[in-house]
Structures are given as C-alpha cells and as structure tokens.
Structure 1
Amino acid sequence: MTQKPLPSDSPLLQPVTAGALQAKNRLWMAPLTRNRADADGTPNDLSVEYYRQRAEAGVIISEGSQPSAVGQGYPNTAGAVTDANEAGWTRVAEAVHADGGLLVVQLMHAGRISHTSTIAGETPVSSTATRAAGQIFTVDGQQDHTPPRALATDELPGVAAEFADAARRVVRAGADGVELHAANGYLLHQFLADGVNDRTDSYGGTPENRARFVVEVAKATADAIGADRVGIRLSPGHPFNDITEDDLSVYETLVAQLAELGLAYVHLLAEADDPIVGKLRAVWPGTFVLNTGFGVDDARDEIARLLSDGVADAVAVGRPFLANPDLVTRWTQGADLNEPNQETFYGGGAEGYTDYPRLAG
C-alpha cells in the first residue's frame, strides 16, 4: 500500500539515545530467528550480508544467540560460545558498521524449549523439571520437547556467568551491545512465569524471588560489558512456548530493580493498549522500546503516533524488516513494501533471506 512520504520531522526519523547506543532513528529491527548460521553456531557469509543489508535500522537486534551449548534451542541458530562464533560476529559487526548501522546481539538461552538431539545429548535445563507442552523442530523433524532438569540453586551463578562471558565475546567482536532475552518462553522467562516456575528455593514463589535470577543475569552482564550496553526483552503474559502467567506484578518488581542497574533499554513485546505498557513505562526511567507485532499495511503511521504520544521512545519491527532490507527508505518515501515469504522464514539459503529486492535507484 503506497503512502505519502514521511515529513522530515517525523518522530520515526529522529535520533534516540539508549545507554551507549546513539541510534540514528527510532525504527529498530526486532530479533528474528532465521536458522541460517553454520551448524556450530557461527554466523557465516549469508549472515554477514543479511545484517549488512539492514543497517538502515536505528539498531539491529540480532537473532537469538545461545550463550552456552546447552542453551541452544533450534538447529543452526547463532551462538556466542566459541572463538569461531566470535569471529563470525566480528565479520557481521564490521559489515553493519561499514554501512552506518548499530548491532546488538540478543542472548537467548532456550532452557526447556529444546531437544537433547540439538544439544549433543545433554538434558535441557530450566527453572522446573516439567516438560513444555508441544513439539520443537530438530534436525530429524518435529519432536516432543525433551523433559528438562531443574537447575540447582548453586548452578545459577554459573549460568549467569555464561551470559556475561557471551556478552564479552560479542562486544569484543565489535557488537555495540547485547539484549537479554527474558521473553517468549525461554529460560529467563521460565523463571519469571508463576505458571512455570515451581521452585521452593529463593528463586521461586514471590515476585521478588521469581525476578531474582533475571536481575542476577543482568547484573553479571552489566558488570562484564557495562550496563549502558545491555538491554532486555520482556513479554508479560505472552503464552508462547507453553508459558502461563497469572501474576504479572513480577514485571514491575523486575523493572524497578533493573532501573537501579542503569541498563540501556527495556524492549517490551505487548499490545500498545495493554495496561502493562503504562505500568512498566512508569517504572522504567530509561529508553523504552515497544514491539506490538505491527501489521505491515498500517504499521508506519501507527508507530509514528505511538512515538508522538510518548508511549515509547523507539519501536522494534520484525517481518517488515525481514522482507524489506531498506525498510527505513521505503517508509520514508511512502513506497510499496515487499511481501514476506513465510515458507522461507526458517532455514535454507539465500532465498527469502538475502534476496529481497531493494528500491531501484
């Protein structure tokens, strides 16, 4: 759908600061799992080109990348575990920076959303020993999630240290920061969610206890690379990956404690009119990034309105960036958008990954 060009003073096109990140605009690329890394988790030539193409974004938030081998959820996801992974991210960061972009690597420990065949025969770990309902894609097709084991209390500092080590790796590789994935039903969310976390130690039960591990991971990561290079993604009440949550007060508790750490931003996945948006916006003093799952046709003007109204300081969009590497230019000019091909979202080669056309000229 063709739209009028954006005026030069559109809030979408204004710079925004998030900690150490000096973003050139407020249209950020949301994390998108694409399953195109090498089998060992190393970003490859296709990854370099994919991210380079999208350097127009105010900030590119990368695909979820495992901070440890046991943290991997799906085949061919990027990692931040080995020297080879680090070298791959170095190439990605150099390409993004050469085209004037910023790169934040999302660190995603899948927890119980995994299968033993994906993690070299290991058992997935979680806040709980309860298997997630449903199935997961593996190299052998769809299979039931492997029953996890509950992390022992004395193991948790080691897991937090894995996040910190992964953050050091990607920042050493040239990334501008990291985003902790505490959403979408993965490990950190498994601790937050009262319907999943059944622990009886100091990491379960009350909102303060359920927030504790996420705060500790955030602090360890901030100590490793600087709080101003650490963001966090949250999805309160989102049922993806067998998450159930009745008590959302944990998020106000969590965000208030994260505010004391001085993180770069909070990235919230929620509908704009969800009461949790206003509650967390009121608690969080820093840069607030919103991702509502915007529809492609009317997303641009809705995003501009949210920014003008102060609902968020920046917005993150996914599928429009997936199919339109030059999304900022297209929305600025009011040009038509490419339609995403859902059949090529996950895995494969260049098709549906690096071959979406840019505007001519």
Structure 2
Amino acid sequence: MQRYEDTLFDQGHISNHILKNRYIVGPMTRVSSEADGTPNERVHRYYERFAKGGFAAVMTEGTYPDTMYSQGYENQAGLATEKHAEAWAPIVRDVKAHGAKMIVQLMHAGGQSQGNYYKDTSVAPSPFQPPKPMVEVYGGQGDFPVAKELTKDEIEDVKDGFVQSARYAVSAGFDGIELHGANGYLLDQFLSENINKREDEYGGSIENRLRFLVELIDDVRDAVGEQMMLGIRISQLKATNGTYKWPGGEKDAEVIFSTLGKTSVDFIHLSDDDATTPGFGEGTMTMAEAAKKYSGKPIIGCGNLSDPEVAAQFISDGQSDFVAIARQALANPDTPNRVLENKPLDDFDAGSIMKPKAYVKDHELDQPLTENE
C-alpha cells in the first residue's frame, strides 16, 4: 500500500472519539428539507450514502438552531424543535450504523440570512448589509436587507438557542457539534472588525470580538458535557466577500487560535479556498499551520484537498489531522472506498451539480446542491 494511503487510513482521535480514517464530509448547504426545517427522506439518503462510502465522519449542512433569526435559507434544515430532533434521529442512527461519526453544524446566519420561515428581518452584531447580492442558486434574489443590531438581551437569546439546539443534538444521537464561526455567518460577523462596530464588551478589540464565540463555546459545553465532540469552524473568507483577510494577518491568527485553544473545543475546522497555500500573504503559514501552532487542538483542513496525495501530504507535514472534502464528495460519495481500492475519482462538475432544488429530481440524488468548501 502506498504511503499516502497509509496516512489517510490511519485511525485518528478527536477527544474520546476514534475516527476510522482521516476523511470527513464537509458541511454543504442543501436547501432540501421541508419548509419548516424538518429533514426528510431525501436528506436521509443524502447523508447515509457518505457513510456507506467509507467516510470516518459526516458533517451536516449548516443547521439553524432557533425559531427566531438564525435561519439563512428557505428549506434549510433546522435543529430548533423536538420535531426537528425526532426527524434527525433515524438519519443519525443509519449514518452511525455504517461506522461513521455524525456531527451537526449549528449555524446562525445573522445578517447573511436570505430566507427565514419564522422572521422577516435579520440581525447582526451591528447594522450590516452584506456587500454582494443574495445567492440565487439558494433561492435568493436582489440585495440583502440591512440587518438590525442585536441588543444584549437578544445576544443572550441567541446563546440560549444554540444551547437548546445542542441539547436536541444529544437527544438525536449526534456524536458531535460544530459551531459555524466561518464564512460570514453570525459568529464570524462578531469576529470581523469590518462588520462588528459595537462599542460594548462585544466590539472593538479582537479580544472583545472573540468574547461572544468564547461564551457560546462555554455555554454549549456546559449543556452537552464532556463526552460529545465540540468544535468550531473558522475562516477568513466569507460567502459574500471571498477576498477578505484578517487585517492583522498572523498576529490576528495568533490571538484567535490561542484564545480558542484555551476553550473546551475538541477541534478547529478551517475553511479556505486552498488549504495548502499561505494564509496571510507570501511566505506566511497556512491557516491550518497557524491553527495547529497556536491552539494545540486537532485540526480539520478544508479547501482544495480532493487529491489524495495532496491531502496525505498535508497531514504528514503536521498541518492538519483530518481533511474535509465537499465538492469531491458530491462527485464521489464513496471517495474513501475508491481511494482505498485505488479506483479513479470522478471530477466535480459544477454545471450538473449546482442546481436549485426545484430542478433536482430524486434520481439525481447524487448531484445535490452545494456551497463552497
């Protein structure tokens, strides 16, 4: 067996959980649940096929945690009610039956919301309008509205929503929770100096802008205990601003990842266009290197890691402990099995896969809607 296969199929650990290999399905926007956020049989089959295909862990799409302002897209899956939790339970059960861990990504869209079953308005750390129009492939059209500023009481409500959703995750049988702190959604909005203009303890310095994330991690950990995996996803790029970089570069990375390293998260998941390239300018560390160096936590790298040799080298170099793949997983839901058996991988075809839900038939389940890795 070649070296890269040894690397990718070595067991890995996150907290007290053993993952059978280093392949994880990255979270991808689905917009295929019922209007009220209840995952359906189509969603069930979508996730189960990745577990059958040999992945060590399957992450859900960004899943909204409350029935207030958190939903980002129409037909997005939720984990905000008992009904949602009951619908997720058989999906989780069947994914786990095939030997994969199941992790729910909890996502509050904040000012980047373009469809909400419960509310007609959106919220953000301070008044905010995303710089690009809504994403049409996810059912949006035109400019985003200006999100209103969260009051302190509403910030507590947001935390309470995540906590209740985390409890639902426990009842549904999930192995882990990932807090979506990337890609321009609410947690990332708090972290971003060009969005967060608050003048209280949640705004201003980078330490203050991290406060909400840290408090949320503490609250969710208290709710779920030590046995459940708890992680956070971090990026510089945003869904509506793909060129954004932290203004302080590696210095900001040191503060951010050092702070997260002192929390109870069990892993940090990086979202990047290309995980192998310098993250902060020519000659700098990759995002994964910085996260590994400053946090000391297990790292999941994501971004252009579909080539098994590239992915294995990324792990062997000590930059990452696991690789999350998205587009490649859509083209090859059985990626780990194919790699293990030295079978070729099909190329991702955006033209055939990036289709609105209304045009995707059941027999085209292997070609679902996705967002960027």
Q: Name the TM-score, length of structure 2 as normaliser.
A: 0.87
Deviation at 1:351, TM superposition (A): 4.5
**Within 5 Å, which residues of 2 pair with 1:4-153?**
6=2, 10-55=6-51, 56-69=54-67, 70-115=69-114, 118-137=116-135, 141-153=140-152
For structure 1, list consecutive stretches of 5 or more residues without a partner in the other structure: 357-361
Question: How many residues are matched?
Answer: 347
Change (3 A) 1:149 1:307: same
- Tell me the equivalent position of 1:324: 332
Change (3 A) 1:277 1:101: closer
**Which deviations, in whole Å up to 9, do the C-alpha atoms of 1:322-343 show, x marking residues without a partner?**
1211110111122122343434
Describe the SS at the equivalent of 2:145.
coil
Deviation at 1:240, TM superposition (A): 2.9
- Tell me the equivalent position of 2:203: 204
Please say if residues 128 and 199 of structure 1, whose CA atoms lie closer than 8 Å, have aligned partners that are also in contact.
Answer: yes
Paired with 2:76 and 2:16, the residues of 1 have a C-alpha distance of: 27
Paired with 1:212 and 1:349, the residues of 2 have a C-alpha distance of: 44
Please say if residues 218 and 264 of structure 2, whose CA atoms lie closer than 8 Å, have aligned partners that are also in contact.
Answer: no
**Within 5 Å, which residues of 2 pair with 1:117-196?**
118-137=116-135, 141-196=140-195
Change (3 A) 1:200 1:141: closer
- Tell me the equivalent position of 1:283: 294
Change (3 A) 1:181 1:8: closer
- Tell me the equivalent position of 1:350: 362
- Tell me the equivalent position of 2:215: 216
Paired with 2:134 and 2:154, the residues of 1 have a C-alpha distance of: 26
**Which deviations, in whole Å up to 9, do the C-alpha atoms of 1:253-302 show, x marking residues without a partner?**
333233223321001123323224322211112211111233x4xx1100
Describe the SS at the equivalent of 1:94.
helix
Paired with 2:361 and 2:77, the residues of 1 have a C-alpha distance of: 15
Amino acid at match of 1:98: A
Describe the SS at the equivalent of 1:136.
coil
- Tell me the equivalent position of 2:281: none
Amino acid at match of 1:93: V
Describe the SS at the equivalent of 1:289.
strand
For structure 2, list consecutive stretches of 5 or more residues without a partner in the other structure: 279-284, 369-373
Deviation at 1:352, TM superposition (A): 4.0
State yes or no: 1:273 paired with 2:277: yes
Deviation at 1:34, TM superposition (A): 1.6
Describe the SS at the equivalent of 1:180.
strand
Deviation at 1:157, TM superposition (A): 2.0
Deviation at 1:38, TM superposition (A): 1.2
Paired with 2:87 and 2:15, the residues of 1 have a C-alpha distance of: 25
State yes or no: 1:309 paired with 2:320: no
**Which deviations, in whole Å up to 9, do the C-alpha atoms of 1:117-166 show, x marking residues without a partner?**
53444310111212112222478751321211111123212211211111
Paired with 2:18 and 2:201, the residues of 1 have a C-alpha distance of: 38
Paired with 2:90 and 2:238, the residues of 1 have a C-alpha distance of: 35
Please say if residues 126 and 187 of structure 1, whose CA atoms lie closer than 8 Å, have aligned partners that are also in contact.
Answer: yes
- Tell me the equivalent position of 2:248: 247
Change (3 A) 1:6 1:172: farther
